[in-house]
Structure 1
Amino acid sequence: MKVVVKIYGPKYFGIDRYDVVTEVLEVDGEPTVMDVLDKLEGRYPGLKRRLLSGDVVAPMHDVLINGRSIAFLRGLTTALKDGDVVQIVPPFGG
């Protein structure tokens, strides 16, 4: 199955780009958010270190599934379906 991942503020996560990173990932079985993050870590080393605090998303950061925060779902164990859109959002100031 495929999921779309959008990483906002990629420079914050150590990715050498300024625009939103969009990836279409092929994942096997019944993947969770953590499975997708593990796969992304292979492409973007350090992403998880900047995004997570232990086994949860760090304060002021967010991960959304189809526009809904995983904080209101099952956190990093939230199951994904084919075609889901995962958005990774760093803290923003304004």
Structure 2
Amino acid sequence: MVTAKRRRFIHANVAWMLAAALVLALLDTLSYELFFVAALTGFLIVVELTAPFRITPTWRRRIKWIILLGLAGFGYVTVQRILAIISVGAS
């Protein structure tokens, strides 16, 4: 059963992602890469803002693996952007 704190965590993440998609769409800059970076940033912020002080529940301990995957994806996006900039500058 989902606890109130876990539900609040999920709602905050979903709200952040919807807001990020809406803002990017309004600015006409919506792309997978920008949405991923905005969603990852929001996820990390929500993780830190909702971190418990004393006892860490089991479901929160598994978040570190999601963070690692997100940072690996961020590294991939960053490398792709750098390679695109370099290839444009080289020609």
Give TM-score scaled by structure 2 length: 0.27
Q: Which is richer in strand?
A: 1
Which structure has the highest helix share of the two? 2
Using the size of structure 1 for normalisation, the TM-score is: 0.26
